Amino acid sequence: MTDITLAPIQPDQPSHLMATYGRQAISFVRGRGAYLYTEDGTEYLDALTGIAVCGLGHAHPVIAEAIAEQAATLVHTSNLFEIPWQTAAAQKLAEVSGMEEIFFSNSGAESNEGAIKIARKFGTQQGVRLPKIIVAEQSFHGRTLATLSATGNKKVQDGFAPLTNDFIRVPFGDVEAIQEAALQHPDIVAILIEPIQGEGGINTAPQGFSYLEEVRNICNQHNWLMMLDEIQTGNGRTGKYFAYQHTNIVPDVLTTAKGLGNGFPVGAVMTQGKAVGLLGPGSHGSTYGGTVLGSRVVYTVIDTIQKENAVENAAIVGRYIVDQLRTQLADKNVQVRGFGMMIGIQLPKDCAELVAIARDQHKLIINVTAGSVVRLLPPINMTQAQADDLLERLVALINNYL
Ligand SMILES: *Cc1c(COP(=O)(O)O)cnc(C)c1O
């Protein structure tokens, strides 16, 4: 198809890329389902999927075909015009999320920017001059100025002052701290949290998902917007379409991205109830948000997740992986936390070096977050046989290490 051949990357050769990432010295040229391949054909099992992005696996044939066909038909017009694929994608997303209104963006951070704007608009309409939003410690909400200010990680914020100062931070899971903040700050209008903290180490609150129910009650009591960041936990990742569906509550504002496009850059901010209608004509926008191509991808991803029963699969196979890890690593001092295909293995010591050992010795792609947590984000449609393949490599890795 193309007559361009790229020269292999030489680690000692200067590159024009801004050095914002600590990259591993490996590149993949091809993928299929749960597996990635280097130029020389070496196969790696991918238990990271581009950090919870390629939930349906790499190069999914149905999604590849939709992208190719739409790219050869019409990629982009503009939100100045009706976009039937965007309307259809919103319909699908409303069905699976239980939300009412959807705005399409291009990334997770941008979706959270939309949520923050909605909260401020909500506050302003009630006469709150400088509205504040409660956020949690160890949270991650993105790298734009407002979202890095919301993020509970000093490393993300260092050197980027002035931060936006409308965020009030509480310990994740601490309901009393929220009530305390409510007493001190009458200008709070919303709370923004992750149902499971991803970058923070695959943590639910100490009381589990009932935290979300407690937060919902507090939001009702104070007339705040309950806003959930499901950028990582959404799209079937945790064994429900959205993680909040493990509970009986519904948030007012919901953000997602990552798995929504299976690798195509898209995101969404969604509203229901009292958050509906806050952003009207002229108050928000994005040139690329909800392009014809992007919208068709979203539609196709959701449709494929439904047709493959991938959410149910994530719950069943994810549970199997967690059970097996707990059994097979029972004599090791590890704690396994998992919901669907979002799994963290807490090791008794810092273990960042495991990423390279897994890759080089077991041909396994994993991630380590929060210093000592092995993070697994395999495809949500992973088969039982692939799960056994994953377990074999992973148990050997951890047994050798501890
Ligand atoms: C990845 C992530 C983001 C940021 O998404 P980007 O697409 O990188 O901007 C925000 N919140 C959570 C919970 C995430 O996991």
> Is 194's C-beta closer than 6 angstroms to any atom of ligand 1?
yes
Model pLDDT, residue 15: 86
Measured in whole angstroms, how far is the alpha carbon of residue 206 from the centre of its chain?
21
Six token digits for residue 84: 């039937």
> Does 365 have pLDDT greater than 70?
yes
Nearby residues of 279 by Cβ (< 8 Å), 6 or more positions away: 103, 114, 117, 118, 121
Contacts of the segment 33-36: beta carbons below 8 A, 24+ positions apart: 33/57, 33/58, 33/59, 33/60, 33/379, 33/381, 33/386, 34/58, 34/378, 34/379, 34/382, 34/386, 36/365
- DSSP for 299-364, written as a single string: HHHHHHHHHTTHHHHHHHHHHHHHHHHHHHTTTSS-EEEEETTEEEEE-SS--TTHHHHHHHHH-E
Residue 5's pLDDT is what?
Answer: 84
Whole-structure pTM over 0.95, yes or no?
Answer: yes
> Residue 257: CB within 6 Å of ligand 1?
yes
Q: Is 229 touching ligand 1 by the criterion CB < 6 Å?
A: yes
- The finding on whether 322 has its CB within 6 A of some atom of ligand 1 is no
Which residues, 6+ apart, have CB-to-CB distance to 61 below 8 Å? none
pLDDT at position 289: 97
Cα–Cα distance measured from residue 189 to residue 146, given in angstroms and rounded to the nearest whole number: 16
pLDDT for res 12: 76
Calpha distance 225→266 (Å, rounded) = 24
Asked whether the predicted pLDDT for residue 1 surpasses 70, the reply is: no
Q: Of the residues 141, 255, 260, which should be mutated to test ligand 1's pocket, given the most ligand atoms within 8 Å of the CB?
A: 141
What tokens does 356 get?
Answer: 């390279």
Phi (first) and psi of residue 33, to 5 degrees = 55, -120
Which ligand 1 atom is the nearest neighbour of the CA of 110?
9
Mean pLDDT value across residues 99-116:
98
pLDDT at 293 over 90: yes
Distance 236 CA to ligand 1 centre (A): 16
pLDDT digits (tens, 9 = 90+) for 265-289: 999 999 999 999 999 999 999 999 9
As a whole number of angstroms, the distance between CA 137 and CA 154 comes to 10
Task: Give residues with Cβ within 8 angstroms of 3, minimum separation 6.
Answer: none
Q: Contact at 8 Å (CB) between 116 and 105?
A: no
Of 1.10.1040.10, 3.40.190.10, 3.90.1150.10, 3.80.30.20, the CATH number of 30-56+309-401 is 3.90.1150.10
- The arithmetic mean of pLDDT across residues 59-77, rounded, is 98
How much distance in Å is there from the Cα of 73 to the middle of ligand 1? Answer: 31
Does domain 63-307 fall into CATH 3.20.20.70?
no
Q: Is the CB of 230 under 6 A from ligand 1?
A: no
At 29 the pLDDT is 96
Strand 167-170 vs strand 188-193: parallel, antiparallel, or unpaired? Answer: unpaired
For residue 296, pLDDT beyond 80: yes
Does the CB atom of residue 85 touch ligand 1 within 6 A? no
Task: Please tell me whether residue 147 adopts helix, strand or coil conformation.
Answer: helix
pLDDT band at 3 (very low <50, low <70, confident <90, very high): confident
pLDDT tens, 195-248?
999 999 999 999 999 999 999 999 999 999 999 999 999 999 999 999 999 999
114 pocket-lining for ligand 1 (C-beta < 6 Å): no
CA-nearest residue, atom 10 of ligand 1: 141
Average pLDDT, stretch 68-79?
A: 98
On whether the CB atoms of residues 191 and 182 are closer than 8 A, the answer is no
pLDDT confidence of 172, banded at 50, 70, 90? very high
10-21 pLDDT tens trace: 777 778 999 999
231 touches ligand 1 (CB under 6 Å): yes
| 369, amino acid identity | T
With H, G, I as helix, E, B as strand and everything else as coil, classify residue 236.
coil
CA of 112 to the centre of ligand 1 (A): 9
Whether ligand 1 lies within 6 angstroms of the CB of 113 is answered as no
Report domain extents, the chain: 30-56+309-401, 63-307
